[in-house]
A and B are shown apart, each in its own frame.
Chain A
C-alpha cells in the first residue's frame, strides 16, 4: 500500500526552487532514507512533506489524498515529525511534553483529556523507555534522553508516517543504534512508515529498506541501499574518495573514507631479512601492517597485521580452546594477538623453506613449512574421521605490491594448486585410502600484501603474479616435504 507519493514536486524558499521535479513513492511499513551532500535539498524536501514549506509545483499525496486537503490537525494525525533538535525555553516535564503529542486527537472547545489519551501516552513512554523519568524536567535530561522524549511525543500522535531530520545527529553511538533499532522495530511490527534524512551513509545502509540520493535538488538514484551506495555514485555525488565494504554480520553495504595520507616505508620490501627463526616459532616482523587474508588460528579472514608467527607444537598437542591458548602463547612472547596472524605446526621448524622472487615491477617472498604425516586425498576424504590436528603444510605468501580483492583469492587458489601439484609429483600417499594426496587435513595459508607499489589486479596461474606464486610455492613445498621425509628416514 502506498503511504506517501511525491509527484514532480518542485519547491523551496521564496523565489528559488531548491528541490526540482522530485518524484518517489514510499510504501507502508518502509524505512526510507534520504541522502545527499549539504545543500542538496534534503531538509527542504522534508519540510514540504511535513507541510511547513509550500509546494510550488507537483503534488504530495499522503494516504492517497493531497497534502493541502488536510487541516493542520488532520495532518498531525497522519504525519509526525522529529527534528534534529528542539528548542525549549520553559521547563516542561517529560509527561507534559509527550502529552502535547495528543493535541491533534483532542476535540471540542475545551479539548478534554480522555482516557484514551492517557493510555496512549503511558504506552508510548513505556515503549520508548522514558516513563521512568516522566516527572523530570526536560532541562535535566541528556541529549539522547531529550531526543527520545521528542520521539515519544511524535509517536503519541499515533502517526502513520514519521518524518525525521537527521535523528541521530548529536547523539552518542549507543543512542544512535538504540533510536534506529526502535524505529526499525516500529516499521516492522506496527507498520509505521518512516522517512528519514541521514547524514551517515553507513547507518542509512544498515537500517533503510530504500534510499533516495539527492544531488542539487534532483534525484540521483532511488533504489535499495546496495545499489545506491555504489562507490562510483557516492564518489561522484559527495566528491570524495571512499570504498565500499560488506558489513561483517548484516547484508548491508558500508562505505569507508580513504584518507589522503602518503604511506611511509614505501621503499621497504618484505624479504628473508625480516624472518626470525627459533625452535619454538618462526616469526616475520613486517615494518608496517600488511593487508592479509589467511586461515590462521589467530587473525583469520581479512585484516591488517604486522606480525606473522608459525609456532611449533607437539604432535599430540590437544587443547579445548586452542585459539585462546594460542593467544596467551603470543602474549607471553610479547606479540599482540590483534596485530598477529598465528599458525601452528608439528613440523620441525628448521625444515622451513623460503624463497624470494623478484620481477621488474614487484616481488614476493614465500615461506613454507611442510610435513605430510596425515596427508589426505580430498576426493576420497569421506573415509577420514574428523579430527583437528596441528596443520602440517603452512604457506605464507608476502607480496610487495598492491593486490585487489580478486588477486587475494586468486593467489590462494594458485598457491593451493601449486601445493597440490607438488604433492602429486612427490607421490605423497593418503594412508587411509592408499591414493595420491593433495595436502593435509589442516593446512593453513596466508597472503599478505604491502598494498603499495605496483597494482596487481589478478593472480590467476598465468598472470605475472600467479606465475611467481605458482613457481615459488611449488618449489618451497617440494623442498620442505623432501626435508621432512629425510628427517623421518634418519
Chain B
C-alpha cells in the first residue's frame, strides 16, 4: 500500500526534521530572493558567505548586497524568529490547557503584550539600565499578567475549565484590551494608519536592532519549553493525571506559562499582534507527526518560522508596491483553520 508507506516515511522522525529543515531553508531563500528587485539564489549565497567569512567579493552589485544584508535578511530572520516564537508558544499553551484551540492570540496574551508595547512606544517609556529592552520586558510582563488573569477568570466561571470557556474568556479580554489600546492611541492623537499597521502586525523596516531584542528571549523561552516537553505530554492528560505520574504540576505549569509569555511578549514587541500562527502550526504538525511534545515543539519552531517568512513574502508582494500587514495573511489562513478545528472537535464529541 503506497499510502501506508508514505505515512511511515512521514512518521520517521529523521524524515520529519529533514522535511521541516528543507521547508525552512526554501522559505528563507525565497524570502530573500523575491521582491521588487529579484536577487538570484547564487548571489544570495555569495553575499551571505562573504559576510560570514569576512572576505570581500568584487563582482557583486553593491545594491544587491545592500538589499540582502540590510533589508531582506534581517526581515526574513525577524519574521522567522517571530513565527517560531508564536508557534512554539502556541504548542505549549495547547498542551498545557489540553486545548487545541489555545494560542497566544485566542487566549488574549497577544493583546496583553500589545498593551505593554503600546504603553512603552506611545509614552516613550524607558526603564533605567535595561534601555531598549524596556519594550520586550513590558510586553512580556503584560502577557504574563493577561494569561494569569484569563486563566483565573476561566476557572472562576467553571472549575473544569472547558476548552470553550477558556477561548471565550480570551476573546473577552482580547476585545477589552484592544479597546484600551484604541483609547490610548486616540488620546495620543498620532497618525492612525501607521498604528493600525503595527497592530495588525508587521516585520517591515525593523532592521537588525529588533533581532537583537527578540533573540535572547526566543532562546530562553524555547529552551525552557523544550526542557518541559515530557511534562507537557503528561499534563495534556490532565493536571491530576500528571501529578500522579510524578510531575510537579504547580512548578511546571508556572514555568510553561512564563516561557509562553516571554515568547509571545517578545514577538509582539517586535512585530505587533500576528494572529493564528500559534494555532495553525502546532495543529498541522500534530496531524502529520503526532502529539508528542518532544518533537512537536522543535518541529513547530521550524515550520512556524518558515510559515511566517512565506506569509511575510506574500504580504509584501501580493499587491506590490503596497504592503499588507502580515497579520492579514495569517488571519486569512488561520481563521478558517480555527473554524475547522472547532467543527472537528464537536464531531468527535458527538461520536
- Show the binding face of A for B, using Cβ within 8 Å: 50-52, 71-77, 79-81, 83, 86-93, 96-97, 100-101, 103-104, 106, 109, 111, 139, 153-154, 157
Partner of A89 from the list B98, B227, B230, B249 (CB cut-off 8 Å) is B98
Q: Using A87-B98, A90-B291 as known contacts, list a sample of 19 further A-B pairs with CB atoms less than 8 Å apart, ordered by residue number in A.
A: A50-B244, A71-B248, A72-B249, A73-B248, A74-B246, A77-B246, A79-B244, A83-B241, A86-B238, A90-B100, A92-B291, A92-B292, A100-B230, A100-B245, A103-B234, A103-B245, A106-B230, A111-B230, A153-B245
Q: Is B247 an interface residue (CB 8 A)?
A: yes
- Expressed in whole angstroms, the Cα–Cα distance for A96 and B249 within the complex equals 20
Contacts of B234 in A (CB 8 A): 100, 103
Contact A100 B237 (CB under 8 A): yes
- Expressed in whole angstroms, the Cα–Cα distance for A75 and B246 within the complex equals 7
- Expressed in whole angstroms, the Cα–Cα distance for A80 and B286 within the complex equals 29
Which residues 198-250 of B sit at the A interface, judged by CB distance below 8 A?
227, 230, 233-234, 236-238, 240-241, 243-249
Size of chain B's interface in residues, with CB distance under 8 A?
26
Contacts of A79 in B (CB 8 A): 244
A137 → B minimal CB distance (Å) = 9
9 contacts between A and B (CB under 8 A): A51-B243, A71-B248, A87-B237, A89-B99, A97-B237, A100-B233, A100-B237, A154-B244, A157-B245
Contact B246 A73 (CB under 8 A): yes
Contacts of A77 in B (CB 8 A): 246
Contacts of A100 in B (CB 8 A): 230, 233-234, 237, 245
Partner of B238 from the list A74, A87, A139, A153 (CB cut-off 8 Å) is A87
Q: Is B290 an interface residue (CB 8 A)?
A: yes
- Expressed in whole angstroms, the Cα–Cα distance for A96 and B236 within the complex equals 12
Contacts of B245 in A (CB 8 A): 76, 100-101, 103-104, 153, 157
- Expressed in whole angstroms, the Cα–Cα distance for A218 and B240 within the complex equals 25
B135 → A minimal CB distance (Å) = 32
Contacts of A106 in B (CB 8 A): 230
Contacts of A51 in B (CB 8 A): 243
B246 → A minimal CB distance (Å) = 3
Contact A80 B237 (CB under 8 A): no
If A90-B291, A91-B291, A111-B230 touch, does A104 touch B238 (CB 8 Å cutoff)? no
- A87 closest partner in B (C-beta): B238
Contacts of A87 in B (CB 8 A): 98, 237-238
Q: Is B348 an interface residue (CB 8 A)?
A: yes
- Expressed in whole angstroms, the Cα–Cα distance for A28 and B244 within the complex equals 20
Partner of A72 from the list B98, B163, B246 (CB cut-off 8 Å) is B246
- A72 closest partner in B (C-beta): B248
Partner of B240 from the list A74, A83, A93, A157 (CB cut-off 8 Å) is A83
- Expressed in whole angstroms, the Cα–Cα distance for A338 and B223 within the complex equals 71
- Expressed in whole angstroms, the Cα–Cα distance for A157 and B243 within the complex equals 13
A468 → B minimal CB distance (Å) = 65
Which residues 282-318 of B sit at the A interface, judged by CB distance below 8 A?
286, 290-292
Chain A CB within 10 Å, residue with most, of B227, B237, B246, B249: B246
Contact A104 B291 (CB under 8 A): no
A14 → B minimal CB distance (Å) = 12
Contact B246 A103 (CB under 8 A): yes
Contacts of B291 in A (CB 8 A): 90-92, 96
- B250 closest partner in A (C-beta): A72
A458 → B minimal CB distance (Å) = 56
Which residues 264-296 of B sit at the A interface, judged by CB distance below 8 A?
286, 290-292
A107 → B minimal CB distance (Å) = 12
Contact A72 B243 (CB under 8 A): yes
- Expressed in whole angstroms, the Cα–Cα distance for A97 and B290 within the complex equals 12
Contact A139 B230 (CB under 8 A): no
- Expressed in whole angstroms, the Cα–Cα distance for A157 and B242 within the complex equals 12
Contacts of B248 in A (CB 8 A): 71-73
Contact B236 A52 (CB under 8 A): no
- Expressed in whole angstroms, the Cα–Cα distance for A92 and B247 within the complex equals 18
- Expressed in whole angstroms, the Cα–Cα distance for A81 and B238 within the complex equals 13
- Expressed in whole angstroms, the Cα–Cα distance for A186 and B236 within the complex equals 29
Contacts of A103 in B (CB 8 A): 230, 234, 245-247
- B244 closest partner in A (C-beta): A81
Contacts of B163 in A (CB 8 A): 89
A243 → B minimal CB distance (Å) = 38
Contacts of B348 in A (CB 8 A): 139
- A50 closest partner in B (C-beta): B244
Contacts of B240 in A (CB 8 A): 52, 83
- A81 closest partner in B (C-beta): B244
Contact A89 B290 (CB under 8 A): no
- Expressed in whole angstroms, the Cα–Cα distance for A51 and B240 within the complex equals 10
A104 → B minimal CB distance (Å) = 3
- Expressed in whole angstroms, the Cα–Cα distance for A111 and B294 within the complex equals 11
- Expressed in whole angstroms, the Cα–Cα distance for A109 and B231 within the complex equals 12
Contact B243 A89 (CB under 8 A): no
Chain A CB within 10 Å, residue with most, of B100, B237, B291: B237
Contact A93 B247 (CB under 8 A): no
- Expressed in whole angstroms, the Cα–Cα distance for A103 and B236 within the complex equals 14
- B348 closest partner in A (C-beta): A139
Contacts of A93 in B (CB 8 A): 290
- B231 closest partner in A (C-beta): A103
Contacts of A96 in B (CB 8 A): 233, 290-292
Contacts of A97 in B (CB 8 A): 237
- Expressed in whole angstroms, the Cα–Cα distance for A78 and B237 within the complex equals 20
Chain B CB within 10 Å, residue with most, of A74, A75, A76, A109: A76
Contacts of A88 in B (CB 8 A): 236-237
Contacts of A104 in B (CB 8 A): 245-246
- Expressed in whole angstroms, the Cα–Cα distance for A422 and B290 within the complex equals 85
Contact B290 A92 (CB under 8 A): yes
Partner of B247 from the list A72, A74, A80 (CB cut-off 8 Å) is A72
- Expressed in whole angstroms, the Cα–Cα distance for A50 and B241 within the complex equals 11
